[in-house]
A and B are shown apart, each in its own frame.
Chain A
Amino acid sequence: MQGLSVTGLSAAYRKSKVLDEVNFKLPKGSLTGIVGPNGAGKSTLLKVMLELHPKLGGTVHFAGKPLKTMRKKIGYVPQRGSVDWDFPTDALDVVMMGLYGNVGWMKSPKARHREQAMAALEQMGMADYARRQISQLSGGQQQRVFLARALVQDAELYFMDEPLAGVDAATEQAIMTTLRELKGRSKTVMVVHHDLQTVEDYFDHVLLLNRTVMNYGETADVFTKDNVYRTYGAGLRWRQEVPS
């Protein structure tokens, strides 16, 4: 069963190319870590696939269909730093945003939408903070709110940009439990990841990226010392972070 297929995808910022001929295929129900050095285009890859950033060329198919018809089946978790957490709103309200597509444009959310949002917060262990100002949440709590917002979308495919960056251990566990649970329900999940040490524990598939796909496939086959070195080039100095 096809989860995701990307063919010849290229993109640029201003005039410099950041993604060059990206090709890969991932099966439905896979949990994939996107790994690569800084500036490899990991975040850009997600944005270009979801047409949040213009592409130069290439095609993307979600469960065999183009983005247009799949938009409602796709959940996106942007980087936590991409929004202003000083914005006047609370955790529950942010999670409700994930339901705006279902609520309908220019209509008000109903009680059942609020219940759905509460359930998602509960799943992320954030029920007690539903009415908390988002500026008063810790970084990990903010990340959980973002995860909860993606969960209420009840999507088929999830794309998450560094959900584990700068979060506390408890949040990391909560997020990983959720990701595995999504995988268990045959959702296709792609996660931009920065910590090489946890790749093998967390992901069944891996996409090594440095402006183009260096390698992809099942973690056990692809996440090898040679491949990782090749992806990171001279930038990799920490022996202990490279799998043996």
Chain B
Amino acid sequence: MTLLLSPNAWWVLLSMLVLGVASGMIGCLAYWKRQSLMSDALSHAALPGVVIAFAITGVKILPVLILGAAISALIGAFLVQWVVSSSRIKEDTAMGIVLSVFFGLGIMLLTIVNRTGGGNVSGLDGFIFGQAASMVRTDVYTMSALGLVVISIVWLGFKEWKLFLFDPAFAKGLGLSVRLMNSLYSGVLVLVIVIGIQAVGVILMSALLIIPAVSARYWTHSFKWMLIGAAVIGGGSGVIGTVISTMGKGWPTGPFIVVSSAAFFVVSLLFGAQKGLVIVRLQQRSRIKSEVSVPAEREKMVVKEGGY
């Protein structure tokens, strides 16, 4: 708890809130692009870039490491596309290959740099499971600023994102550049991943993208509220996970964030207001009841709706 009281810890919490909100929103985009696994591939693919960026520059400044991570993740994304388009291998298989190869490469490089670079590199280990508590003030600024950029890109283009995700062909017909939207989507996805990996780690970063979005889906039938819900759940998981991880020395942040977002997910799955198991069961029961008691009323409804 002593860490929590330090002013630095408050800054860390704030940046985790921004990160959680941003990744929750981007997670919604990934969810409707049906690319949840892609975020996992990209975050794993970021690791070698972090290590190489450090090996080249010799400094452990976040913007440098983020740049390395972004380049590495984009190469990963490109490789997935390349494997899919130039062979008969399916996208999920390609992502599985890229994910494991890049992660293996990252760990290998990390070992080499650790051997040759001395104790200087210890902080890099944090990129595997995440170490929010080790962030310094400038890291927090970098993360929050980039996180706010991501949030505003989603918010300003809300209507365009909705159209692009629901019906890209129609969007193109209206003159919206689908190529631009795709690039923008890859851009914000990579951005939110690379700003998150120091705090959450490359292995579990995707949880902060996938779980809040899928949880929010249980609460609403509106894309706007799904975005807001995912932002709240993402932000909440980020903050709760970070608070718990700062309670013990050297506790990794990623796992605690995943567990707290999983708690949100279980609650949503059971009690979600629109698709939750409990409400669905209750609706089924009342439907059966009404069918037994007022069959004529029911029939009228079917006829009015033009049949099923």
Contacts and interface: CB of A to CB of B under 8 A. Distances in A.
B175 A88 contact: no
Given A74-B173, A97-B167, A105-B176, A89 B222 contact: yes
Interface stretch (B6-14, B17-25, B44-52, B156-164): B156-164
A240 interface: no
Contacts of B114: none
B305 A133 contact: no
A109 B167 contact: no
Interface string A151-192: 000000000000000001011000000000000000000000
Given A72-B175, A168-B307, A171-B306, A82 B223 contact: no
Contact of A97 (B170, B175, B307): B170
Contacts of B175: 71-72, 101
Contacts of B90: none
A138 B306 contact: yes
A138 B305 contact: yes
Contacts of B157: 105-106
Contact of B223 (A74, A89, A105, A108): A89
Contacts of B56: none
B172 A100 contact: no
A90 interface: yes
Contacts of B159: 100, 103, 106-109
Interface in A100-121: 100-101, 103, 105-109
Given A88-B217, A171-B306, A101 B174 contact: yes
A101 to B, nearest CB: 5
B304 to A, nearest CB: 8
Given A138-B305, A138-B307, A87 B166 contact: yes
A153 B16 CA distance: 43
B306 A97 contact: no
B186 interface: no
A141 interface: yes
Main secondary structure of the interface of A (DSSP, over half): mixed
Contacts of A105: 157, 160, 176
Contact of B166 (A50, A84, A108, A109): A84
Contacts of B222: 88-90
B221 interface: yes
B167 A78 contact: yes
A100 B172 CA distance: 12
A89 B226 CA distance: 10
B307 A82 contact: no
Interface string B168-183: 0110111110000000
B170 A76 contact: yes
A171 B307 CA distance: 11
Contact of A87 (B165, B174, B176, B308): B165
B32 interface: yes
B306 A100 contact: no
A1 interface: no
Nearest to A167: B306
Interface in B21-36: 32
Interface string A68-99: 00011010101000111001111001100100
B31 to A, nearest CB: 10
A78 B160 contact: no
Contacts of B221: 88-90, 133, 135
A140 B156 contact: no
Interface string A32-58: 000000000000000100111000000
Given A78-B170, A87-B32, A88-B226, 9 more contacts: A47-B169, A51-B172, A88-B217, A89-B221, A93-B162, A97-B166, A101-B175, A105-B176, A170-B306
Interface of B: 32, 156-157, 159-160, 162-163, 165-167, 169-170, 172-176, 217, 220-223, 225-226, 305-308
28 contacts: A50-B173, A51-B172, A71-B174, A76-B170, A78-B170, A84-B32, A84-B166, A87-B32, A87-B165, A87-B166, A88-B221, A88-B222, A89-B221, A94-B166, A97-B166, A97-B167, A100-B163, A103-B159, A105-B157, A105-B176, A106-B157, A106-B159, A108-B159, A135-B221, A138-B306, A138-B307, A140-B306, A168-B307
